[in-house]
Amino acid sequence: MADVRLTELVRSSGCNAKLPPGDLNEVLKSLPRTVCDRLLGGYEKSDDACVYDVGDGKVLIETVDFFPPMVDDPFVFGEIAAANALSDIYAMGASPSVALSLMCFPSCLDLSVMRSIMLGAISKTDESGCVIAGGHTISDREPKFGLSVTALADKDSVWTNHGARKGDFLVLTKKLGAGVMMTAHKGGETDAAEAIESMRTLNKRARDIARPLSVHAATDITGFSILGHSSEMADGSDATIYLSLGSLRFFSGALGFARFGFLPEGRYTNEDYLKDKVDFDSRIEKAYIDLLFSPETSGGLLLSLREEDAGKFIEEFGDDASIVGRVGERAEKSVVVSL
């Protein structure tokens, strides 16, 4: 087990392995739309999970997420992959109930590695109150793992990413820079301990604290970057989101590694898709722009709340969260980043 380096078996890792958003959008736009009165939210709204009305005021919320490893420790990989998949449910304001696992496993690895990945995932589903009821496994040259997660919720309690209101404040519950940190980690430049701890941390507490507050819109920050997910929230809400660079918090060392060029591939595909949607203050350093376009894995929740509720959230949640911007009237760009 000690000799296994999972990251040496993969070309990409974590949410950086997502297809470029431009390519994905091109395919989704070409698909026929299936009319279903019970489907209250699907991919067309870029929400974090689909919402299906089962009647009697209840809905099913479903999501699926899996990816190649960004760490060598199989147990920690299982933790991060599970936390990342569960996060989509928390971003909808719900509690995960049951999950199915998806495992792609190379024949060159000992089965003890698979067991450790599953044990890591189970540790996080146990923490969330969710149960892994089964799954599917295939042989693959690259290891990949994740979960399909289902929640049952009251119909009127579900959060979406498209209800942000003018005057709302934006709260982000985790630091940024995981994609850059893990690229540097794979290059042997850092242990990335802070980023790894953040990625394996559930967004459950953030959801629990925000649940009684006026959450008008919510999403989690993953592969399409803080700019991509903010843009989706802005477009879906017919608003413009104003982010303050000085209020955004990054993992220690992330800026230096970005300056040195430890940038994930997804940083460039995200910019290709978003460049016409985002406006930067001309004084912002390129390394910060690199960080803002870079993919995150198992990132924090981005919450759009009334000003007073944003303050209440920060007071209870603590220093790990910060108010990073506000919501304004729709302008030319979806997202505006100032110093």
Q: How far is CA 197 from the centre of its chain?
A: 15
Q: Can you give 254-303 as a three-state secondary structure string?
A: HHHHHHHCCCCCHHHHHHHHHCCCEEECCCCCHHHHHHHHCCCCCCCEEE
pLDDT at 15: 67
Give the DSSP H or E segment for 330: none
The CA distance from 78 to 27, in Å, is 30
C-alpha distance across the termini of the chain, in Å: 46
Is residue 64 within 8 A of residue 150, CB to CB? The reply is no
Point out the residues that are catalytic. 15
Is residue 195 within 8 A of residue 251, CB to CB? The reply is yes
pLDDT at 45: 67
- Indicate the CATH number for domain 6-157: 3.30.1330.10
Q: What angle do CA 49, 53, 57 make, to 5 degrees?
A: 120
pLDDT at 124: 98
Query: Regarding the domain delimited by 169-338, which CATH topology (the fold level of the hierarchy) does it fall under?
Result: Phosphoribosyl-aminoimidazole Synthetase; Chain A, domain 2 (3.90.650)
User: What's the token pair of residue 20?
Assistant: 């470029």
Per domain, the residue ranges of the chain are 6-157, 169-338
pLDDT at 137: 96
Is residue 100 within 8 A of residue 136, CB to CB? The reply is yes
Burial of 230 (0-12, 13-18, 19+ CB in 10 A): buried
User: What's the token pair of residue 245?
Assistant: 């660079």
How high is the mean pLDDT in each 10-residue block of the chain (339 residues)? 74 72 80 82 75 94 95 97 98 97 94 97 98 96 97 95 96 97 94 97 98 96 96 96 97 97 94 95 97 97 97 93 97 96
Instruction: Give this prediction's pTM.
Output: 0.94
Amino acid at 191: D
Strands (E), the chain: 39-41, 50-55, 58-67, 98-105, 131-139, 144-154, 169-172, 215-220, 239-244, 278-280, 301-305, 322-329, 335-338
Is residue 47 within 8 A of residue 41, CB to CB? The reply is yes
The CA distance from 172 to 32, in Å, is 35
